[in-house]
Amino acid sequence: METNLKDVLAGLTNVSEKQIKVERDENLEHVVKELHKIFLAEHEDLGDMTYAKRGFREKCSLLAGLDITPKAVEEFCYELKIHEQQERFIYEAGLMIGLAVQASFNAGYNNFYLPVGHFENELQYLCNNSSGTKDRRLELTIEGNFNHGLKYIKFLKLLIKGNVLFVSDNAQSCEIELIGNLGDKHGIGSGMMHAKNSKIKISGNVIGKLFGSNADGCNFEITGRSVGSCGTGAKNSKFIFHQNPGESSAQFSGGCEYVILGWNNDWRIGAGSHNCVYKCKSEATIKELVEALPDKTLNRPRDNKIYKIHDDGSETLVAEI
């Protein structure tokens, strides 16, 4: 019987693909099991939380030699739930996930997906100190609510789909989108404090306090309500409020631009600011700014400018204070 060469080659290709799939599945299973072992070993060896944070970072070498793919990190996130009755789980799980992500990124992988919404209690220390490079950003998507995380991050492109209490303080050169709320109903929470050269958009409400305080060279956009203060002590940054800025926002800031598309009735907004530009749609907001911006203590100009935004998008300078 005559053999069709094309069919033979096709058959060989199919066998090869199956073998590769089996090898990949075996590697994935092996890596996830090893991550569990490292997590449990770390948990048994650690004492108080100060040591926990130090110990996890000192023992990164335990991850060396593992081919940790983004899929392995994702599966590990799902499976971590079986350990959540362990003492200090919410802290150590957040740290361990971050170490796995960093080890994988350092090995050449990227574009990570972290599901964290299935835990009984929200994680803390999630991916703190994660870092990409100037030429290669670490790209990360987190889905689910978490309590605290992503402090001291550098060169990240980050998408968060969930509500967060504390996020991305001391971030540097990062691009962040949060589809959810920052802070809780009690006004607890903050984000992007002391951030530098970063950009964040929040498609939700900022309920916590001190969002963007002391930031430098950053861009912020908030589509929802702002209850807590935003931009206190910020420098050379831009804030866009689609609704209202929070109470006491923009105080003691310098060289910033504040675009207020909603309205504000808090007389303390902008107090103590200097060399700032305020662009407002609401006449009420402009009135409050005129009252708040003058330096009544020293009776001196602060070089702030207030613009009225018209319906057609044009702007008119209405006050220099």
Condensed to tens digits (0 to 9), the pLDDT of residues 165-212 reads 888 999 999 999 999 999 887 777 888 999 999 999 999 999 877 899
Of the listed ranges 1-5, 202-206, 226-230, 285-289, the least confidently predicted one is 1-5
pTM of model > 0.95 = no
pLDDT, residue 93, reads 93
pLDDT, residue 236, reads 97
Q: Provide the mean pLDDT of the chain.
A: 85
Pairing verdict, β 305-309 and 315-320:
antiparallel
pLDDT, residue 229, reads 85
pLDDT, residue 25, reads 82
Pairing verdict, β 238-241 and 257-260:
parallel
pLDDT, residue 104, reads 96
Q: Is the pLDDT of residue 49 over 50?
A: no
pLDDT, residue 267, reads 58
Q: Is the pLDDT of residue 296 over 90?
A: no
DSSP summary character for residue 80: G
Q: Phi and psi for 216 in degrees, rounded to 5? A: -140, 120
Distance CA 22, CA 17 (A): 9
Q: Is the pLDDT of residue 245 over 90?
A: no
pLDDT, residue 58, reads 56
Write the Ramachandran bin of 180: left for phi over 0, alpha for psi from -120 to 50, otherwise beta.
left
Q: Is the pLDDT of residue 42 over 70?
A: no
Which residues share a beta bridge with 229? none
The beta-strand segments (E) located in the chain are 112-115, 138-143, 146-149, 156-161, 164-167, 175-179, 190-191, 199-202, 219-222, 238-241, 257-260, 277-280, 305-309, 315-320
Q: Phi and psi for 168 in degrees, rounded to 5? A: 60, 35
Convert the pLDDT of each residue in 51-62 to its tens digit: 444 555 556 677
Query: In the block, which residue shows the tokens 């609704």?
Result: 243
